Amino acid sequence: MNPGNRLARTLATVVLSGLLLALPPVARADADTRPRPDSAAADLAGLSLDQLMNIEVESVYGASRYSQRSLDAPTRVTVLTADDIRDHGYQTLAEALRTVTGLFVSYDRIYEYLGLRGLGHVDDYNARVLVLVDEHRTNDNIFEGALIGTDFALDLQQVDRIEVIRGPSSALYGSNAVLGVVNIVTRQARQARGWSVTTDGGSLGTRGGRLAYGGRFGEHGTLQLSASDFASDGNASLYFPTFDPPQPHGNVAEHLDGDGARRLFANLALGDFRLEGVYGRRRKDVPTATFGTLFDAQGYWTTDTREWLDLGYRHTFANRLELSGRLYCDEYEYEGSYPYDLENNGLVTINRDLDVGTWSGGELIAHRTLFGPDEFVVGGEWRANLRQDQRNWFIGSDTTCYDDHHHSDVWAVYAEDAFDLAPRLRLTAGLRHDAYTAFGGSTHPRVGLIWSLLDRTTCKLIYGSAFRVPTSYEVYLWGSGDAANTTLRPETFRTGEAVFESYFAEHYHASASCFVYRGDDFIQEGSDGAFTNSGDVRGTGVEAEVSGRWHEAELRLGGAHQAVRFRPGDARLSNSPADILQASGKLPIVPGRLWASADLHTIGRRLNPLSAEVPGAAIADANLIARRRGSPWQVTLGVRNLFDVKYSDVAGPEVTMTSVPQDGRTFRARLDVRF
């Protein structure tokens, strides 16, 4: 055993036993004196059942890997529900996430990139955000990226809720949980009983459909199935000012914006066991002449295929011990076709890229309510990256640019304990150690001090560190051996945060946070196309959000102001907006039958990787929803970019243009039927 492993195991033992045993006994003695939300209990008891049925349960799961009030979670969480997804007509995860306070999404006409806390690096393929579906990691093992656009393997209609957990969570989830975690929980069989059919269509030749079934079998079994298909012709022509004055191939890309995706989902639950299978394949035509390819040439496309099978077990024992575990196998395949004019003679040569990642692993988590409100979680995880293969070659030639085959392993142990230090003061402390065969060990804590200021008002002080390992793509982009970038180290973020959260005046919820972080060994792509630990990033910022609900009307307003600097040089980082403002609302027009909903997301100006400024934009989306309680029909009419604002997003360094134009006003219509 090498010293790193020995240290890791020693640490693990300390974590597992120390956190449990070394807690101050006073915490347990005070268990029953923890302040209960007395007035909440009393207020609720005065409401009618009809009124109670409109109240949402305050719970988040992903913040600590057990259900808890968002007020008690050692982070700031925003939850989007199935109702939000339905009533705002969100069709992709990216569309839903860009309405969440502080989050922004950039689209380079291939992938959607999620940014938060001023970091929206468009060459990281979302490797600094962890996206989970029913606790299953969706980040792949080549780019460590999360797909959140039309390439997301899950149909959004299958989603029960999306928890956006801000800040570092490597103490629970390991690599990639740097800026935040998006925890997606799918609908239970009970919510999707019977058949349902969706058809939709809209501008840009967009059409789609979904067929889903949910039912019971036997005494304890449930089954859910869903199949959906989406296709879009995209913009018939896209004008790129970057190519002004017109280059030999012009400045307009024609018929190169098509998009199509197919998704399958199956969930079989029997007693304590659940088997879930997810498959998604998306093909996108690329108009941006990325990687120095030929502009306006047919034959540039990419496909992303993501699939997994997850066998889960969850059992609650009579002694309040909840044990859950999973075994899974995953696959991700990226295929790209790039047209080049190598000899500058008008002859097109196709370069192909095929990356295949397969991995499997297992996880075991025990959660126990120890004494009164004390909560203890301990877990272990193992993952084998069976294939991390990248291959690139020219069609019709013997030239293989690279053909790499790698595999690696990672195992991890973690524990988190939450207990009361004093009647109104709660401490959450967690620690996780990850051991990578390729990068060694990495240990990360998260500590949260939560002060219940009033009945439903808390202040939190949180410190955590997080990391992401260099991706296989970043290390082996130019091949193995001497060409490999083996000096790359994991990047580490340390974040301190103060959070205020309150439910007040019956209708309102407000939360705000100030954060400061430092990211060491920040990995980014240099001008020569190689990835390096280029320096450090330092960010500070504030986020605030207030929401209210009055009967069937809802309004959420939020914003973030942040400053992120890169060292050495104290430079502004690319795609790092200083300001973001968001608003979402829903209003009944004919109560019980017709609603209107709208989202507004504004983003301040940003720099592209060439340090040129990309102007800010304010984009509004609106929807009309017709449905009646008990009726199997729902009709949704939507318009995106209502005011037809001309705007662009920042693209990564491989996209040669200063910015990538986005869609103007588009319309869509959807019909849902249940039977």
Q: How far is the CB of 198 from other proteins (least distance, A)?
A: 18
Cβ nearer to other proteins, comparing 69 with 281: 69
Rounded to whole angstroms, the Cα distance separating 483 from 69 reads 50
Local structure of 468: helix, strand or coil? strand
Q: How far is the CB of 156 from other proteins (least distance, A)?
A: 14
Cβ nearer to other proteins, comparing 52 with 236: 52
Rounded to whole angstroms, the Cα distance separating 144 from 126 reads 8
Cβ nearer to other proteins, comparing 190 with 347: 190
Cβ nearer to other proteins, comparing 272 with 644: 272
Q: How far is the CB of 196 from other proteins (least distance, A)?
A: 15
H-helix segments, 230-272: none
What residues have CB less than 8 Å from 74, skipping those under 6 apart? 63, 64, 418, 428, 430, 446, 447, 448, 450, 460, 462
Provide the 10 A C-beta neighbour count for residue 630.
Answer: 5
In one-letter notation, the amino acid at residue 312 is G
Q: How far is the CB of 73 from other proteins (least distance, A)?
A: 13
Cis? peptide before 245, omega within 30° of 0: yes
Q: How far is the CB of 414 from other proteins (least distance, A)?
A: 24
Provide the 10 A C-beta neighbour count for residue 318.
Answer: 5
Contact positions vs other proteins (CB under 8 A)? 32, 36-38, 40-59, 67, 69, 79, 81-83, 160-161, 188, 190-191, 219-220, 316, 318, 372, 503, 506-509, 547-551
HEC per residue, 329-393: EEEEEEEEEEEECCCCCCCCEEEEEEEEEEEEEEEEEEEEECCCCCEEEEEEEEEEEEEEEEEEE
Rounded to whole angstroms, the Cα distance separating 402 from 476 reads 9
Rounded to whole angstroms, the Cα distance separating 375 from 192 reads 32
* Spatial CA neighbour of 299 closest among 247, 355, 340, 241: 340
The answer to whether 165 and 181 have CB atoms below 8 angstroms apart is yes
Cβ nearer to other proteins, comparing 476 with 503: 503
Cβ nearer to other proteins, comparing 22 with 505: 505
Q: How far is the CB of 371 from other proteins (least distance, A)?
A: 10
Q: How far is the CB of 70 from other proteins (least distance, A)?
A: 8
Q: How far is the CB of 49 from other proteins (least distance, A)?
A: 4
In order of 184, 242, 312, the CA distances from 281 in angstroms are 19, 31, 24
Cβ nearer to other proteins, comparing 109 with 161: 161
Look-up: residue for tokens 């304590």? 272
Rounded to whole angstroms, the Cα distance separating 306 from 297 reads 27
Cβ nearer to other proteins, comparing 161 with 640: 161
Cβ nearer to other proteins, comparing 13 with 54: 54
Q: How far is the CB of 164 from other proteins (least distance, A)?
A: 15
Cβ nearer to other proteins, comparing 43 with 613: 43
Q: How far is the CB of 618 from other proteins (least distance, A)?
A: 27
Cβ nearer to other proteins, comparing 44 with 348: 44
Q: Among positive and negative, which fits the CA dihedral 421, 424, 427, 428? A: positive
Rounded to whole angstroms, the Cα distance separating 562 from 118 reads 6
Give the tokens for residue 435. Answer: 């051991």
Q: How far is the CB of 36 from other proteins (least distance, A)?
A: 6
In one-letter notation, the amino acid at residue 234 is G
Look-up: residue for tokens 């009533």? 87
